[in-house]
A and B are shown apart, each in its own frame.
Chain A
Amino acid sequence: MQKILRESGHLVRLALVLAAGFLIFMAVRAAIVPKSFGQYGHYRGAVLEEIRAKPISFAGRATCEVCHDEVAKTKSEGKHAGLGCEACHGPSAAHTEDPTTNHAFKPNPATLCVRCHEADRARPKTFPQVTSKDHANGMSCGDCHKPHSPKI
C-alpha cells in the first residue's frame, strides 16, 4: 500500500492541477457572475430595476385620447377602433409631455397601410387584404380612405 502511494505521486500532482483549475474557475465565476444572478430566475435580478429606469417611449392610447378626443371618437366608430394610436403614429411619449415642441409623427398613408393590408398568404383569411397594385393603381391609400375611419 505504502509503495503504491509512493509510486503515484504524479497522480497526486495531476489531481492538484485539476483542483487548482477548478478553484480558479470558481474564483473567476464568483468574480464575474453578477451578484443578483438567479435572484428571481435564470437572469440578473437587478436588470428589472435597470429596465424600469429606462425612459418610457410609448404613452398608450388612453393618454392620446385625453387631448385628441375628436380623433378618438372618429376612430372608435370606424373599423380601426381596435388599433392603438401609436401602432400607426409610432412611440409618442415625448409628444404627450410637451405637444407644442415635440411634434407627433404623421405617417404617410401611401406606405403605412400596406404594412398591414398587403395581401399575404400568411395572414388570416378573414383579415381585409388588398393587392395594392390592382386596388390603388398608384394612388395613395389616403386619397380615398380616411385613416381613422377607413371604411368607405
Chain B
Amino acid sequence: MPGVDGFMYPNEVELQWSILIVLYPYLTGLVAGAFILASLARVFNVKEVQPTYRIALLTALAFLLVAPLPLQLHLGHPERSIEMYLTPHKTSAMAMFGFVYLWYLLIVLLMEIWLDYRKDIVILSRTKTGFMRLVYRILTLGSQNISEESRRVDDRVGLIVTIIGIPSAFLLHGYVGFIFGSVKANPWWSTPLMPVVFLFSAMVSGIATVLLVYQVVNKLRGQPVHMFCLDAIAKYLFYVFVIDFSLEMLDLVHRIYESDESFRSLDFMVHTKLYFSQIILQIMLGTLVPLVLLGANQVMKFGESTRRKMYTVAGILTMIGIFAMRWNVVIGGQLFSKSFLGYTTYKVEFATREGLLPAIALLLLPLGILWVLLKLLPPGEEEQTA
C-alpha cells in the first residue's frame, strides 16, 4: 500500500486527527502564554513588561476567539457544538473542556479586559459619534462612573480576576495536554508529564508571540518599542524556555531509560518520519538556536539593534519550534502502528476542509481580530509606562 511501511492495522492507515488538530493546541497555547505574561505584569507588578499588558490581553482574546474554530471545522456540524452546554456530559474530558473554555472567556479574559478598559470605554462613549458611540455606550453597560474610587474598586476586582485567571490559564492549557496524556493506548502520548510539558511550551509560545506582536503593533501605531521591555520579555522567555526544554529532556531521558516495548518503534520513527520536524525543526532550530540567542543576551551585552534582531529571530524560531512540537505530538502519535511493526504517512491536503489552506486562514484570522480589537480598544499612549 502506498505510504505504508511494514504492518499497519486497517484503521491506522489513515490519520484521523489532521493539521487542524495541530493548530488547536497551538492556538490555546498562545492564549494561555500571552495571558500568563500579562498576569505577571499585574500580579507581581513587574514594571518592565507593563507596556505589553493590554496588548497581551487583546492578543490572548483574539487567539481565544479563534481557538475553537479548527475543532468545529474538523468535526463538522458546528451547530451541534451548543449541545455540549445544553446536555453536559460529565465523564467526558473533551465535553467538560467546553466549560473551561467558557469560564476562561467570560469570567477571566473578557472581565479583566472590561475592568481594565472601563475608563477608556466611558471616555470613548462621550467623544465618539454615530454608530461607534452606540457601541461604546453598550460596552459601558450604562454606567458612566469613572471616579477615582470606582477605579480603585475595578483595580481590586481586576486583581482578583487575574489571580483566578492564572490557574484558569494553567487549566485551559494543561487540559489540552491532559487529553493527549490520558490516551493510555498511545505510548507516544500517554505520560503524566504531557500536561506540564504542554503548559510550559504554551508559556514559551505565548511570550514569544507577545514579544513579536508588541514590536509590530507599536511600530504600526507609531508608539515607541521600549528596549527595557523587550529585554525583560526576552529574559522571561529564556527562563521559561529553559524549564520547558528541561522537562522535555526529562521526558526523553525517562523514555530512553524505561525503554518499554514501544521504544524501538518510536525511536525509529523519530529518526525517519519525524526527523525533519522533530530533530531539525523542533529541537535544533526551534529550541537550541533561540536558547543560544536568548542565553547569550543574559551573559553578554550587545548593542541595541543587535539585541532587537536577536530577539526577533529567536521569537520567530520559537513560534516555529512550538508549532513543530504540536505537530510532532499530534501527527507523530498517529504515524506508528499499535503493533509497533509499521508506519504510515500523513499527506497534508491543500484546499479541502481540513487542508493547509483553512489552517493558514485560521492562523491569520486572529491577527485580523487583533487588528479590530486594537481599533476598538486602543491600548493607549504611554500612560502605563514605568
Contact = CB atoms under 8 A, between A and B. Distances in A.
Interface of A: 3-4, 7-11, 13-14, 17-18, 25, 28-29, 32-33, 37-38, 42, 121-122
Contacts of A10: 118, 140-141, 143, 145, 150
A10 B106 CA distance: 17
Nearest to A3: B149
A33 B86 contact: yes
A37 B89 CA distance: 12
Contacts of A18: 106
A25 B88 CA distance: 13
B130 interface: no
Nearest to A122: B10
Contacts of B114: 14
B145 A29 contact: no
Contacts of A25: 85
Given A8-B150, A10-B118, A14-B141, 9 more contacts: A4-B153, A7-B153, A10-B145, A13-B142, A13-B143, A29-B86, A37-B87, A38-B87, A121-B7
A90 B89 CA distance: 37
Interface in B53-86: 85-86
Interface of A is mostly: helix
B40 interface: no
Contact of A42 (B10, B89, B111): B89
B9 interface: yes
A121 B7 CA distance: 9
Contacts of A13: 141-143
A37 B83 CA distance: 12
A7 to B, nearest CB: 4
A124 to B, nearest CB: 13
A9 B322 CA distance: 44
Interface in B103-156: 106, 111, 114, 118, 140-143, 145, 147, 149-150, 152-153
Interface of B: 7, 9-10, 85-87, 89, 106, 111, 114, 118, 140-143, 145, 147, 149-150, 152-153, 157
A39 B143 CA distance: 46
A3 B149 CA distance: 9
A18 B141 CA distance: 11
Contacts of A121: 7
Contacts of A29: 85-86
9 contacts: A7-B145, A7-B147, A7-B150, A7-B153, A13-B143, A14-B111, A14-B114, A25-B85, A28-B86
Contacts of B141: 10, 13-14, 17
B91 to A, nearest CB: 9
List of 9 A-B pairs having minimum Cβ-Cβ separation, nearest first: A10-B143, A7-B150, A7-B149, A13-B141, A8-B153, A122-B10, A29-B86, A33-B86, A7-B153
Contacts of B143: 9-10, 13
B99 to A, nearest CB: 12
A32 B86 contact: yes
Contacts of B147: 7
Contacts of A8: 150, 153, 157
Contact of B153 (A11, A32, A122): A11
A11 to B, nearest CB: 6
Contacts of A4: 149, 153
Q: For B89, B111, B150, which residue has the most chain A Cβ atoms within 10 angstroms?
A: B150
B13 to A, nearest CB: 10
A25 B143 CA distance: 25
A125 to B, nearest CB: 14
A25 B152 CA distance: 32
Contacts of A14: 111, 114, 141
A9 B87 contact: no
Contacts of B85: 25, 29
A33 B87 contact: yes
Contact of B145 (A9, A17, A42): A9
Nearest to B89: A42
A18 B150 CA distance: 20
